[in-house]
Amino acid sequence: MPKTLAILVLVGVTAIGGWFVVSAWGGGSVQQPVAYNHKVHIDAGMECAACHTGAEEGTHAGIPTTDKCALCHKVDRPYPKTPKDLAFYLKANKEIPWRQLHRTRRHVYFSHQRHVALAGIDCEKCHGDVKKKTTPFDRAAFPDRQAGMNLCVDCHRKEKVTTDCMACHR
Amino acid sequence: MTQDIGARNLVRVFLGVWSALGLFYAFLMFRSLLWSPSFYIDHTHYESQRPLAQPAALALQAEAKNKFARDPGVRRGRELFRREGCALCHGLGGKKGILSKNYVKDRVPDLATLAERLLLYEPEDVEAVLPALAAGQSLDKVDKLDLPNPAPVVAKYADARKVILDGNPGGKKDEKGVQPIDMPAWKDTLTEPDINRIIAYLLTLYPWEEG
pLDDT reading at B70 higher than 70 = yes
pLDDT reading at B25 higher than 50 = yes
Task: Provide the pLDDT for residue B64.
Answer: 60
> For chain B, how many structural domains are there in total?
2
Residue A57 in any domain: the answer is: yes
* Nearest by Cα to B203 from B132, B105, B100: B132
Chain-chain contact of A72 with B89 (C-beta, under 8 angstroms): yes
Residue B156 structural domain: 49-203
Ranges under pLDDT 70 in chain A: 1-2, 13-28, 144-147
Chain-chain contact of B50 with A160 (C-beta, under 8 angstroms): yes
pLDDT reading at B65 higher than 50 = yes
Task: Provide the pLDDT for residue B31.
Answer: 78
Q: Is the pTM of this model over 0.90?
A: no
Q: What is the mean pLDDT of residues B65-76?
A: 83
Chain B residues whose CB is inside 8 A of the A67 CB are 85
Task: Provide the pLDDT for residue A20.
Answer: 56
Residues in chain A whose Cβ is within 8 Å of chain B: 43-47, 49-51, 53, 57, 67-68, 71-72, 77-80, 114, 117-119, 149-150, 153, 159-165
Residue B65 in any domain: the answer is: yes
B1 or B75, greater pLDDT: B75
Chain-chain contact of A161 with B44 (C-beta, under 8 angstroms): no
Chain-chain contact of B37 with A149 (C-beta, under 8 angstroms): yes
Least CB–CB distance from B178: residue in A71, A79, A161: A79
User: pLDDT > 70: what percent of chain B?
Assistant: 86
Q: What is the mean pLDDT of residues B196-203?
A: 95
Q: How far is A7 from chain B (nearest CA, A)?
A: 24
B104 or B60, greater pLDDT: B104
Residue B210 in any domain: the answer is: no
Residue B29 in any domain: the answer is: yes
Residue A28 in any domain: the answer is: no
Question: Choosing among B78, B79, B98, which should be mutated to test the A contact, i.e. which has the most A CBs within 10 A?
Answer: B98
Residue A75 in any domain: the answer is: no
Chain-chain contact of A153 with B44 (C-beta, under 8 angstroms): no
Residue B1 in any domain: the answer is: yes
Beta carbons of A74 and A82 less than 8 angstroms apart: yes
Task: Provide the pLDDT for residue A6.
Answer: 73
Task: Provide the pLDDT for residue B16.
Answer: 97
Q: Is residue B66 located within the same domain as residue B20? A: no
What whole-number distance in Å separates Cα of residue B119 and Cα of residue B152? 8
DSSP letter string over chain A? -HHHHHHHHHHHHHHHHHHHHHHHTT------SS---HHHHHHTT--HHHHSTHHHHSSS-----HHHHHHH--TT-SSS---HHHHHHHHHT------------TTB---HIIIIIIS---HHHHH--GGG--S--SS--STBSB--HHHHHHHHHHTT----HHHHB-
The gap from C-alpha A63 to its chain's centroid, in whole angstroms, comes to 9
Residue B192 in any domain: the answer is: yes
Task: Provide the pLDDT for residue B206.
Answer: 87
Residues in chain B whose Cβ is within 8 Å of chain A: 37-38, 40-41, 44-46, 48-50, 52-53, 55, 58, 79, 82-83, 85, 87-89, 91-92, 96-102, 107, 178-181, 184
pLDDT reading at B43 higher than 60 = no
* Nearest by Cα to A80 from A135, A130, A37: A37
Q: What is the mean pLDDT of residues B61-77?
A: 79
Q: What is the mean pLDDT of residues B30-53?
A: 68
Beta carbons of B42 and B55 less than 8 angstroms apart: no
Chain-chain contact of A53 with B82 (C-beta, under 8 angstroms): yes
* Minimal-distance CA residue of chain A relative to B184: A71
What whole-number distance in Å separates Cα of residue A15 and Cα of residue A25? 15
Tens digit of pLDDT for each residue in B127-184? Answer: 899 999 999 999 998 888 888 889 999 999 999 999 999 999 988 888 888 899 999 9
Chain-chain contact of A71 with B85 (C-beta, under 8 angstroms): yes
Beta carbons of B147 and B138 less than 8 angstroms apart: no
pLDDT reading at B119 higher than 90 = yes
Residue B178 burial by Cβ neighbours in a 10 Å radius (0-12, 13-18, 19+): middle
Q: Is residue B16 located within the same domain as residue B105? A: no
Q: How far is B141 from chain A (nearest CA, A)?
A: 30
Buried b (16+ CB within 10 A) or exposed e, B156-176: bbeebbeebeeeeebeeeeee
A47-51, A132-136, B3-7, B10-14: least confident range: B3-7
Tens digit of pLDDT for each residue in A63-82? Answer: 999 999 999 999 988 889 99
* Minimal-distance CA residue of chain B relative to A73: B181
Q: Is residue B60 located within the same domain as residue B121? A: yes
Chain-chain contact of A44 with B44 (C-beta, under 8 angstroms): no
**Would you place residue B211 in the very low, low, confident or very high pLDDT band (cuts 50, 70, 90)?**
very low
Residue A148 structural domain: 35-63+98-167
Residue A157 CB neighbour total at 10 angstroms: 14
pLDDT reading at B4 higher than 50 = yes
Residue B125 in any domain: the answer is: yes
Buried b (16+ CB within 10 A) or exposed e, A131-147: eebeebbeeeebeeeeb
> For chain A, how many structural domains are there in total?
1
Residue A73 in any domain: the answer is: no
Which residues sit opposite A144 in a β-bridge? A146
Task: Provide the pLDDT for residue B60.
Answer: 61
Residue count (chain A): 170
Task: Provide the pLDDT for residue B77.
Answer: 94
Residue B43 in any domain: the answer is: no
Q: Is residue B23 located within the same domain as residue B96? A: no
